[in-house]
Amino acid sequence: MALLFLSINDDPGVWTRTLSALMPGLDIRVWPETGPAADIDVALAWKPPPGELRRFPQLKLIISLGMGVDHLLQDPALPSVPLARIVDPGIITQMAEYVCLAVLHYHRHIDDYERQQRERRWRRLPPAETARRTVGLLGLGAIGSHTARQLTALGFPVLAWSRSSKTLAGVDCFHGPEGFEPLLRRSTVLVCLLPLTGETKGIIDAVTLALLPVGAYVVNCARGGHLVEQDLLAALDRGHIAGATLDVFQREPLPAEHPFWTHPKVRVTPHIAGITNPGTTAPQIVENIRRLSEGLPLLNPVDRVRGY
């Protein structure tokens, strides 16, 4: 069994050592030094060049090196073989931490206090009322559900919207087109945790932003394609949206000339809300390779039609 590791963002040495320790004898090839293309059975990939995976005629499985698979499905030449994704407890925890940090940052007026520090001003702002800071989550999968639990544990009222009907204790759940507007109108912080699909691309646009309460905040740590960037800038500039924390962008790395870098109401991080950890994800990758070789059902298979 030969596995191709293809990612320009990750250290191949760490992955090779971790996978080899769990599955001694696994033949691991690191792109672009693939050897004979016909040797490759499995590809472990993150943002492969379009058409690249089609070069391997014996490919039997593609595993996304992350919880999202939009980076694979956007390739029209992607081989018609099974896809699997990583569902990593480490990423889930990191994403929830990132969202809680962003919500608390705005809730406790940290932007204002940082501004006061620069001005050397000593002034207390009115205390924040947690029960009045309603957080709306777009997405109630593994990441969204865990994030909702962490936010409710902090005392925030939490709303959640998903494609289909779901329930979660302590969370007001909405679904489908009819549930979208009611969630937006009550969300003082809107958080995007959706998979990127044809249905969710550009979901945070001028119409969505206008439905949020005046002074609401936006947090996007899902995919840059969810957000219409110019619409957010316009909403920030006219004061309808008070601030945004953004970890993902239409173009990455974010171009140096992009207005997000210097906008006073935008906080930028370089796609670090959830980083894949070889130590916590390699076991399920190895398990899927074993299942493939034994003809067993895969862990975390991807429905290409739904996009996740």
Contact 241, 216 (CB under 8 A): yes
Contact 242, 217 (CB under 8 A): yes
- Distance, in Å, from the CA atom of 293 to the CA atom of 291, rounded to the nearest integer, reads 5
Question: Pick from 152, 158, 161, 153: which is nearest to 134 by CA?
Answer: 158
Contact 76, 95 (CB under 8 A): no
Q: Which of 223, 238, 258, 306 is catalytic?
A: 223
Active site residue 271: yes
Q: Which of 271, 290, 291, 306 is catalytic?
A: 271
Contacts of 114 (CB under 8 A, 6+ apart): none
| Tokens 């029960």 belong to residue | 131
Contacts of 1 (CB under 8 A, 6+ apart): 26, 27, 41, 42, 289, 293
Q: Which positions are catalytic?
A: 223, 271
